[in-house]
């Protein structure tokens, strides 16, 4: 007999992780699946960061419970990074280090949402935002930026969505899943709307900060008047190829940092001490390896775009950051290969997995049912082969 809570029964499974699990299952059955579903760097964590973790083990000082919000020297390094790279003013006591940026976001929503509060989510959005808002008792309110506006929500759209119940706004820039990047001017327009309303918090997810091809990452929290209104979320996973180390962090107004500390103290305590020392190494050494990885993502974006453009009915934007394409594939809806009818993006993702042996994620999970997401954090060989197979499988639909 199952005795699940309604809360968990109604919670959607993480679509990215579910597709990754499905790809693993196919592989375990001997099927040669190319996985473009999970967004994670295909690079190894740079050597000097690995060495940082090894010496922390050898020092023998980091095996006990760390402070819940993270080691003081790591929080200071994060505070310095925010100032130097983003012109953000968060002192070390305004930093909370968590078990991945995902936990940072969960902490924030647990800390600020009362039952029935609304959170404006810029769509397309990263899959877990909606689930984490709902788990905290909030109501996600989606505001859509379509492909024709490079998937970017405008200040007017934001203004129209704000109600007396709006508690917060969340978006990522560079964006997962679209790769869109807000320019500083666009963020200024958004901030002008936000500053007209008291008690509105911005959750700015900047985890793809270092994978930004525009050459200029802008942080909304650095704009005039926005420091007290913004919690900036970041982490080590994407820029430093450290997904499995699970180190995320926030800079927040002090009251919110303290509340996140309290939430985390009850849920998990601090994250792994050795992983924190690795993060300290990463944040206090130069960004050379990070920039090299970003250059390689940019190169891949180039040929992946060309290959996708050769597939009839597949429409893409030009992502300015992160490592995803989010093509509109709605031209295939209603078509069939004689056996399977494709009604939507979820059907198409499964069709691609079954027929092309490539795993991608349905756009429905990201709030755009016309699209699918492909990660290009994969080798050139795999990317070329995967897109060739997708093209062949799609050609069978009519
Ligand atoms: N952020 C990555 C993605 O979107 C990791 C998977 C996840 O945690 O959802 O694929």
Q: Is 17 in the pocket of ligand 1 (CB under 6 A)?
A: yes
Instruction: Return the H-helix or E-strand segment holding 144.
Output: strand 139-144
DSSP one-letter code for 46: P
Please give the torsion angle defined by the CA atoms of residues 304, 310, 314 and 318, in that order, rounded to the nearest 10 degrees.
Answer: 40
Instruction: Please report which confidence band the pLDDT of residue 348 belongs to, taking 50, 70 and 90 as the band edges.
Output: very high
Residue 11 is encoded by which pair of tokens? Answer: 């919670």
d(CA 364, CA 383): 23
Check pLDDT > 90 for residue 98: yes
| CA-15 nearest atom, ligand 1 | 9
The verdict on the CB of residue 16 being under 6 Å from ligand 1 is: yes
Token couple for 108: 């924030």
The CA distance from 378 to 294, in Å, is 13
Band of residue 57 on the pLDDT scale cut at 50, 70, 90: very high
Query: Using a 6 Å cutoff on CB, does residue 38 contact ligand 1?
Result: yes
Distance 17 CA to ligand 1 centre (A): 7
Residues in the chain: 398
To test the pocket of ligand 1, the residue of 98, 174, 176 to mutate (highest count of ligand atoms within 8 Å of its CB) is 176
| Residue 14 in contact with ligand 1 by CB distance below 6 A | yes
pLDDT of residue 148: 87
Alpha-carbon separation of residue 91 from 74, 79, 96 (angstroms): 12, 6, 11
The whole-angstrom separation of Cα 19 and Cα 349 is 9
Q: What is the mean pLDDT of residues 24-46?
A: 94
Query: pLDDT of 163-208, one tens digit each?
Result: 999 999 999 999 999 999 999 999 999 999 999 999 899 999 999 9
Mean pLDDT of all residues in 363-383: 96
With a 6 Å cutoff on the Cβ, whether 178 touches ligand 1 is no
Ligand 1 pocket, residue 21 CB under 6 Å: no
Secondary structure letter of residue 336 according to DSSP: B
- Beta pairing class for 201-205 and 166-172: parallel
DSSP letter string over 260-297?
HHHHHHHHT-S--HHHHHHHHHHHTS-SHHHHHHHHHH
C-alpha radius of gyration, the chain, whole number = 21
278 CA from centroid of ligand 1 (Å): 21
Place of tokens 């309110």: 141
Residue having the nearest C-alpha atom to atom 4 of ligand 1: 39
Distances (CA, A) of 77 to 13, 238, 251: 35, 18, 12
- Kindly tell me the number of DSSP H helices and DSSP E strands found in the chain: 13, 12
pLDDT tens, residue by residue, 144-161: 998 889 999 999 999 999
Q: How many CA atoms lie within 13 A of 132 on its CB side?
A: 22
- The pair of structure tokens assigned to 18 is 């579910």
Quick one: pLDDT band at residue 1, thresholds 50, 70, 90? Answer: confident
Distance 163 CA to ligand 1 centre (A): 30
Pocket test for ligand 1, best of 15, 102, 367 (most atoms within 8 A of CB): 102
First-to-last alpha carbon distance for the chain, in angstroms, is: 45
Q: Is the full-model pTM beyond 0.85?
A: yes
Return d(Cα 268, Cα 367) in angstroms, integer. Answer: 30
CB count within 10 Å of CB 150 equals: 17
Residue 12 pLDDT greater than 90, yes or no: no
């Amino acid at each position: 007999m199952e005795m699940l809570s309604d809360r968990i029964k109604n919670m959607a499974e993480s679509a990215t992780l579910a597709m990754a699990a499905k790809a693993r299952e196919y592989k375990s059955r001997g099927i040669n699946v190319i996985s473009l579903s999970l967004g994670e760097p295909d690079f190894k964590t740079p050597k000097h960061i690995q060495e940082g973790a090894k010496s922390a083990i050898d020092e023998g000082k980091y095996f006990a419970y760390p402070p819940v919000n993270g080691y003081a020297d790591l929080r200071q390094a994060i505070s310095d990074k925010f100032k130097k790279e983003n012109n953000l003013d968060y002192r070390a006591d305004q930093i909370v280090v968590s078990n991945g940026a995902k936990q940072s976001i969960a902490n924030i929503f647990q800390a600020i949402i009362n039952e029935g509060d609304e959170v404006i989510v810029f769509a397309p959005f990263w899959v877990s935002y909606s689930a984490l808002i709902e788990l905290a008792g909030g109501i996600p309110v989606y505001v859509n930026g379509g492909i024709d506006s490079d998937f970017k929500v405008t200040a007017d759209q934001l203004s129209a969505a704000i109600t007396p119940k709006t508690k917060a706004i969340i978006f990522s820039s560079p964006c997962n899943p679209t790769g869109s990047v807000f320019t500083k001017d666009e963020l200024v327009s958004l901030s002008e709307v936000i500053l007209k309303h008291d008690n509105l918090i911005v959750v700015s997810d900047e985890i793809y900060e270092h994978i930004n091809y525009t050459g200029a990452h802008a942080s909304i929290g650095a704009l005039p008047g926005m420091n007290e209104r913004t919690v900036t979320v970041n982490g080590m996973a994407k820029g430093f190829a450290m997904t499995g180390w699970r180190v995320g962090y926030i800079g927040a107004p002090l009251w919110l940092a303290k509340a996140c500390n309290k939430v985390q103290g009850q849920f998990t305590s601090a994250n792994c001490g050795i992983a924190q020392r690795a993060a300290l190494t990463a944040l206090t050494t130069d960004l050379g390896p990070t920039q090299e990885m970003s250059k390689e993502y940019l190169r891949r974006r180039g040929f992946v775009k060309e290959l996708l453009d050769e597939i009839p009915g597949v429409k893409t934007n030009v992502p300015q950051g992160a490592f995803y394409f989010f093509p509109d594939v709605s031209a295939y809806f209603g078509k069939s290969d004689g056996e399977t009818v494709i009604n939507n993006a979820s059907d198409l993702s499964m069709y691609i997995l079954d027929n092309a042996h490539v795993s991608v994620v349905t756009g429905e999970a990201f709030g755009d049912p016309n699209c699918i997401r492909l990660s290009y954090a994969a080798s050139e060989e795999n990317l070329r082969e995967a897109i060739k197979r997708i093209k062949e499988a799609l050609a069978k639909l009519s």
